[in-house]
Each structure stands twice: as C-alpha cells, then as structure tokens.
Amino acid sequence: MHCCVLFASPRGKESNTRALTEEFLAAWHEAGNTASFHSLYDLAISPCLACRGCQWDWSAPNCVVEDDMQAIFTDILAADLVVLASPIYNWGPTAPMKAALDRCIYALCKFYRGTGEKGPSLWEGKPIAVITTAGYRIEKATDLWEESLRRSCKHGGMRFLGLYGERHRSYTEPFMDEEKRERTRAFAQSIMEQL
Ligand SMILES: Cc1cc2nc3c(=O)[nH]c(=O)nc-3n(C[C@H](O)[C@H](O)[C@H](O)COP(=O)(O)O)c2cc1C
C-alpha cells in the first residue's frame, strides 16, 4: 500500500509532529508499505482563489493554480492512505495545511458549479488519518480540527480513520520518549487494520 503524507510544521527536523510521523512511517514501512512525504512549508502551496475553474472538469482536479499542489493532487488520488500531519496553531492546522485542504475540498469535490448540478467526489472512500501535537491538554487542543475534518470527510465521502495527538509540554525537554513511540505504533497498527 502507498501512503501520501502531508506534513506542515515550520520546525523541520526539530518538529514534534515530525517525530511522531517518522515513528508512524517506520511502522508503515516495516509492514512492507511505501510512502511519499510532502513537507508543505518547503513547497509552493497557494491558497484557493475561489475561481471555481476546477468545477468544469469532473474527471480530474483541474486546479488553475500551477504550483506544488498539482503533484500532491496526483499523489493523493493514487494513495491508499492520506496522512495529515500538522501541529495545532490557533485551534486548527497550520496555514499551509489549511491552504492544501482548501484546495483539495474544491478541486477534488465537484459540488460547486453553482448551477444545481452535483458532480462526483474524486476522493470518495479515501482513508484519512491525522497526526498532530499541541501545547494544551490534547482533547481541548485538537477537538475543533478533528471535528472540522470529520465534517469534511462526511461531505466529500472520505473515510476518517482517526486522529492521534500528543502534548508538547516544554521546549527545554526532549519531546519524544518510549511511551510516545509505543502509542504512535499502536496508532499505526490501528490505521493499517482499518485499510
Ligand atoms: C503560532 C502558534 C500557535 C499555536 N497555537 C496553539 C493552540 O491553539 N493550541 C495548542 O494547544 N497549542 C498551540 N501551539 C503549540 C504547538 O501546537 C506545539 O508546540 C506543537 O507541538 C508544535 O509542533 P511542531 O514541533 O511539530 O511544530 C501553537 C504554537 C504556535 C507557534
């Protein structure tokens, strides 16, 4: 199976979310799977322009914005699993992740011609899993992003498989430890069992 990871922390190798994602991917690869890793802060991902140019082709994303989202659309459509990995900023994902998700919800869901015709969701049935970290108590930090993703998935027909989050308590102590490794691997196992 192939997994498409969208990763969106500006902290690169120092990122807590990246530490969890790498552990997830280690378990994923050990099970014989492949993955591609898109680091959104290192790519050009413009916000959706709301031009609705994508809505006139029901067979492909057909987004008019020529940037790095084009390759990501292709990868998402081919993937058996999409992993969204972002820290929580202001009770939601980081800005590049929000921009990427806005681009997807239009280019991959042909619902918005505004003429009364409803086309297909190109990512209908696509499994989505989420990895996140946050500074506050995890349930109260991640609940709003989780709810918005659950609604997006219901709207576009994707399968929301689960969200895994860990709290970042201090910049002066190491984030990753053995318990987090085990919990990350348990999450990876639960996702693989749902595919
Ligand atoms: C601009 C900004 C906004 C943040 N907003 C929140 C927030 O709303 N809730 C929260 O629990 N943590 C918040 N945090 C803390 C981060 O989510 C936390 O430190 C996270 O582990 C960083 O992940 P990273 O190392 O992968 O970048 C914020 C951090 C920054 C820099």
- Order of all β-strands in the sheet with 34-39: 34-39, 2-7, 81-85, 127-134, 159-167
| Predicted confidence band of residue 182 (pLDDT cuts 50, 70, 90) | very high
Q: What is the mean pLDDT of residues 146-174?
A: 96
DSSP letter, residue 46: P
Ligand 1 centroid–CA 111 distance in Å is 33
Residue with tokens 């997830």, as numbered in its chain:
24
**Angle, vertex CA 44, rays to CA 145 and CA 82, nearest 5:** 45
Q: Are 93 and 86 in contact (CB under 8 A)?
A: yes
Pairwise CA distance, residues 19 & 183, whole Å:
12
Spatial CB neighbours of 46, under 8 Å, sequence gap ≥ 6: 65, 67, 69, 99, 103
| Model pLDDT for residues 59-115, shown as the tens digit of each residue | 999 999 999 999 999 999 999 999 999 999 999 999 999 999 999 999 999 999 999
Ligand 1 centroid–CA 87 distance in Å is 6
Atom of ligand 1 nearest to the CA of 17: 26
Ligand 1 centroid–CA 141 distance in Å is 9
pLDDT of residue 42: 98
Atom of ligand 1 nearest to the CA of 134: 17
User: For residue 136, how many C-alpha atoms fall within 13 Å in the half-sphere facing its CB?
Assistant: 10
Ligand 1 centroid–CA 93 distance in Å is 9
Atom of ligand 1 nearest to the CA of 88: 17
Atom of ligand 1 nearest to the CA of 11: 27
| Model pLDDT for residues 102-148, shown as the tens digit of each residue | 999 999 999 999 999 999 999 999 999 999 999 999 999 999 999 99
Ligand 1 centroid–CA 165 distance in Å is 12
Ligand 1 centroid–CA 88 distance in Å is 5
Torsion 78-84-85-89 (CA) sign = positive
Residue with tokens 């498989």, as numbered in its chain:
161
pLDDT of residue 194: 98
What residues flank ligand 1, with Cβ below 6 Å? 9, 11, 15-18, 87-91, 133-136, 141, 168
Distance of CA 103 to the CA centre of its chain: 12
Q: What domains does the chain contain, in order, with CATH numbers? A: 2-194 (3.40.50.360)
**137: helix, coil or strand?**
coil
User: For residue 181, how many C-alpha atoms fall within 13 Å in the half-sphere facing its CB?
Assistant: 5
Pairwise CA distance, residues 59 & 75, whole Å:
15
| Model pLDDT for residues 1-55, shown as the tens digit of each residue | 999 999 999 999 999 999 999 999 999 999 999 999 999 999 999 999 999 999 9
Pairwise CA distance, residues 51 & 185, whole Å:
41
This prediction has a pTM of: 0.98
